[in-house]
Chains A and B, each alone.
Chain A
Amino acid sequence: MEHFLRTTPSYEQLIEELGTIKKKILTFDTFSASKIEENTGIEIEKKSLSEGFPFYSESDNKNTRKEDLDILYKVELAEANAKLNKEIIEKKLLKQELENIKKELSISNQKNHKLTARTEKLVAINKALKSSNADLENFIYSSSHDLRSPISNLEGLVQILTHELGDRIQDSQRSLISMIETSISRFKQTILDLTEITKFQKDEQEVQEPVLFEEIIEDVKSNINNKIQESGAEIETDLKVTQVNFSRKNLRSVIFNLLINAVKYRSPKRPLKLQLSSYKKGKNIVFEVKDNGLGFLPEQKEKLFEMFKRLHTHVEGTGVGLYIVKKIIENSGGNIKVESHLDEGSTFKIFLKA
């Protein structure tokens, strides 16, 4: 037999092949199956491949060629079985993976759904806000128009009355008419201020662009040149930062209000000295306006930025300037601070996003 086996090279090869197959089968044993089960939780039909299987052994000399072939068939069968088993496990793994993906998908679907719902809600809220903003704008427009019409009629009527009375006017009538006129002009100014505020709120979404501090300062200075000359102000500028990204119109409004305030609320005891400077501080660009004017008490600080609130009455004003300044700065993501000492002066510091 040995001899016979040895003389047939193909049979020899066969034996070798059998050995490899055997090894293959053995490596895919129940141990590996349980390992997969442990890791994946998938139940595998465990069938020991070696069980009841007469393994070919080289020392077994009694085997005939037919038996050998039987073994070969059995081995092939076992191999096919093993393959099948492996495929089943792979399929089960795939199935599990698919399940996992499905689960994840359903979770993300749910999340998506929630997100869509939230987005829809936000869009609706935004729409409602826009429409209520438009309503408000319309309301202010029409109410300011409707208020202005009768007041301008009143103004005209008073003029005609004065004209009609002519020389026959008595002093008491003259003073009454003058009071009516003062009331009318105050009323008109209030309406103007209100429209100013709504205008600025409308312009708020203006485009940001690089704006040169110096350009704006010069523009404002020439605009209020008369008042500056009148005050005899000495203005120093020290611009360490030359430009900032901001709405040009809004920055002009800010600088205009700060300068005009410094001129208006100067001290009668000394010539006005104004120091304008810009510099970097941390993440901010700071624009500073320092004066040696009237100043104010710490407890007056809060009132300073409120709408229609004024600290002084000796000069003209309506109390919207600093309110607008604060709103512009805060809406742009910056903030404004003020330090002041009564009868020494004030320093306004504007912190802008660099």
Chain B
Amino acid sequence: MTKKFNKVLLVDDDDISNYLTEVLIQKLDFSGDIEVYKNGEEALNYIRECFHNQSENVCPELVILDINMPVMDGFEFLEEFEKLQKNNNRDIPVVMLTTSNYNNDIQKAKKYKVAGFVNKPLTEEKFLEILNHHL
């Protein structure tokens, strides 16, 4: 049975990786709107607008976040996103999806409220667990 979700934000500048993530979501029988942003700033703008009801933006139920991106990277995004969540009393989970398995990045991610840290490529099991848990 297909599980429905309203909105998942996929923040990653890698088109192929985004394609793979979307295919996997469908394969795992989840369906809903996946909004793709190629850097943190664009995603943040979207979320800000939805928090402030400035547009018809549907607030996401989950954010899947890459680390290395142009303009605003994953950590910079988290820094701003946490403030934004706190000010608006929201608690949207963030899962970090990255090719980095650098200890530095994992330690850095621990400073933020991150629901998970997953290495690419996403496997079905890993992703199913995340989707089931957060959607």
Mark A residues whose CB is within 8 Å of B: 141-142, 145, 148-150, 152-153, 155-157, 159-160, 163, 195, 199
Mark B residues whose CB is within 8 Å of A: 14, 16-17, 20, 23-24, 27, 68, 99-103, 119-122
Is the beta-carbon distance between A156 and B121 smaller than 8 angstroms? Answer: yes
Is the beta-carbon distance between B14 and A149 smaller than 8 angstroms? Answer: yes
Interface residue from B16, B20, B102 paired with A141 (Cβ < 8 Å)? B102
**Distance (Å) between the CB of B101 and the closest chain A CB?**
8
Interface residue from A149, A160, A163, A199 paired with B99 (Cβ < 8 Å)? A149
The 16 sampled A-B contact pairs (Cβ below 8 Å) are A145-B68, A148-B120, A149-B17, A149-B120, A150-B16, A152-B119, A153-B14, A153-B16, A153-B20, A153-B120, A155-B121, A156-B20, A156-B24, A157-B20, A160-B23, A199-B103
Is the beta-carbon distance between A160 and B20 smaller than 8 angstroms? Answer: yes
- With A145-B100, A149-B99, A195-B102 known, 12 other A-B pairs at CB within 8 A are A141-B102, A145-B68, A152-B121, A153-B16, A153-B17, A153-B120, A155-B121, A156-B24, A156-B120, A156-B121, A160-B20, A199-B103
Which A residues touch B103, using CB under 8 A?
Answer: 199
Report how far A149 CA is from B99 CA in the complex, Å.
Answer: 6
Which B residues touch A163, using CB under 8 A?
Answer: 27
Report how far A142 CA is from B99 CA in the complex, Å.
Answer: 11
Known: A152-B121, A153-B14, A156-B121. A145 touches B99 (CB 8 A): yes
B16, B99, B119 — most chain A CB neighbours (10 Å): B99
Report how far A143 CA is from B117 CA in the complex, Å.
Answer: 21
**Distance (Å) between the CB of B110 and the closest chain A CB?**
18
Residue of B nearest to A151 (CB): B99
**Distance (Å) between the CB of A87 and the closest chain B CB?**
76
